[in-house]
């Protein structure tokens, strides 16, 4: 673990996705302690965490550079957004809508700072494709709340170049400029 954590000791600011191949709910408590100690020592970076199971986590971070997020793939999972804010105390929250399996509908974006939208990738038989109207509904709701929206590149064939939005939170752009 120590060897892997050394990469975040760089002085040049980065935005690190800490759960790219894992779920924050699966982390051991000793990992959290070690990693968040290192995060506190490296405030020049932004750290993105993501979970599909915020109901299984009780966690708190007061670090300005920590972004806690949840994945929502269908309307029946919207409760995850409330679970995120209830069980994980953080200064910044984000929601990733990926892949979209149905129309999410009305979303309570209160307290959310960033939205990411994507579609299913790969060549799986029966692969689900996000519909443009689902993506636009989420983006329009977020924009109405002043929330930056980032559509992943995999949406380009679905949305077209003219409808793609790729915004980052100001806190990220300040760190990586």
Residues 6+ apart with CB under 8 A from 122: none
pLDDT tens string 135-173: 999 999 999 999 999 999 999 999 999 999 999 999 887
- Which residues are bridge partners to 47 per DSSP? 16, 66
**Domain map of the chain by residue range?**
2-176
With contact defined as beta carbons under 8 Å apart, do 81 and 107 qualify?
A: yes
Q: What's the token pair of residue 177?
A: 């400029």
* pLDDT for the residue numbered 9: 86
The span from the CA of 74 to the CA of 84, in Å, is 16
pTM score: 0.89
Q: How far is CA 112 from CA 2, 15, 36, 91, in A?
A: 32, 18, 22, 10
Q: What's the token pair of residue 110?
A: 């209160």
């Amino acid at each position: 673990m120590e060897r892997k954590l050394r990469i975040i000791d760089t002085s040049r600011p980065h935005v690190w996705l800490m759960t790219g191949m894992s779920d924050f709910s699966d982390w051991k408590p000793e990992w959290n302690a070690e990693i968040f100690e290192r995060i506190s020592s490296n405030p020049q970076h932004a750290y993105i965490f993501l979970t599909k199971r915020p109901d299984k986590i009780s966690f708190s971070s007061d670090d300005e550079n920590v972004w806690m997020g949840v994945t929502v793939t269908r309307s029946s999972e919207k409760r995850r957004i409330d679970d995120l804010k209830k069980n994980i105390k953080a200064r910044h929250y984000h929601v990733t809508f990926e892949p979209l399996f149905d129309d999410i509908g009305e979303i309570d974006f209160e307290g959310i700072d960033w939205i990411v939208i994507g579609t299913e990738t790969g060549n799986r038989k029966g692969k689900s494709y996000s519909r443009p109207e689902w993506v636009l509904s989420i983006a329009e709701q977020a924009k109405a709340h002043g929330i930056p929206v980032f559509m992943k590149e995999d949406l380009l064939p679905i949305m077209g170049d003219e409808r793609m939005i790729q915004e980052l939170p100001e806190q990220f752009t300040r760190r990586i400029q």
